[in-house]
C-alpha cells in the first residue's frame, strides 16, 4: 500500500509515462489512480486490492474484469506482452475498465508504477 500518492495521477499519465499499450477503455483514462496491486491469484486481489488501484497481472480472461469491476479498480495492466482474450476485451468495454499492456515483466512494471506514484516522496 502506498502511503503518499501523487494527487494528479490518472490513467492517461500512467499510460504516457510508462508507454503502455491500450487494448480497451481509451475513453476512461481520466480515472484517478490511487495505487497498485500486483497478483495473479484472483482471491488475493478480491480480498486485498483497494478501489482506484491498477491491477498488474498475467491473467488474460474475463473473470479478471469481473473482479476489477467488483473491487472498483481503475485499470488492468497485462505484463510481458500478454493480450486480453476476446471475452476479456468485450467485458472490459462493457464495464469501462481499461485493459492496458506492457512488454515489461511483472517485477519491472510494478517497480515503475510504484516509483511514478511515489515520485514526490523524498524518503
Interacting residue ranges for another protein, rule: CB under 8 A: 40-44, 46-47, 57, 59, 61-64, 66-67, 69-71, 87
Residue number, 31 or 71, with CB nearest to another protein = 71
Q: Which of 1, 29, 37, 35 is nearest to 13 (CA)?
A: 29
Contacting residues for 11 by C-beta, under 8 A, at least 6 apart: 28, 29, 30, 31, 33, 54, 74, 75, 98, 100
Q: Least distance in Å: CB of 62 to another protein?
A: 6
Location of C-alpha cell 474475463: 62
In the complex with another protein, which residue's Cβ is closer, 26 or 61?
A: 61
Q: How far is the CB of 61 from another protein (least distance, A)?
A: 6
Amino acid at each position: 500500500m502506498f502511503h503518499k500518492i501523487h494527487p494528479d495521477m490518472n490513467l492517461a499519465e500512467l499510460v504516457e509515462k510508462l508507454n503502455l499499450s491500450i487494448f480497451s477503455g481509451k475513453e476512461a483514462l481520466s480515472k484517478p489512480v490511487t495505487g497498485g496491486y500486483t497478483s495473479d491469484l484472483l482471491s488475493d486481489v478480491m480480498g486485498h486490492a483497494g478501489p482506484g488501484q491498477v491491477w498488474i497481472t498475467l491473467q488474460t480472461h474475463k473473470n479478471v474484469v469481473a473482479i476489477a469491476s467488483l473491487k472498483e479498480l481503475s485499470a488492468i495492466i497485462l505484463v510481458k506482452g500478454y493480450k486480453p482474450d476476446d471475452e476479456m476485451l468485450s467485458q472490459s468495454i462493457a464495464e469501462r475498465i481499461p485493459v492496458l499492456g506492457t512488454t515489461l515483466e511483472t517485477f519491472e512494471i510494478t517497480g515503475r508504477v510504484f516509483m511514478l506514484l511515489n515520485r514526490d516522496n523524498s524518503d
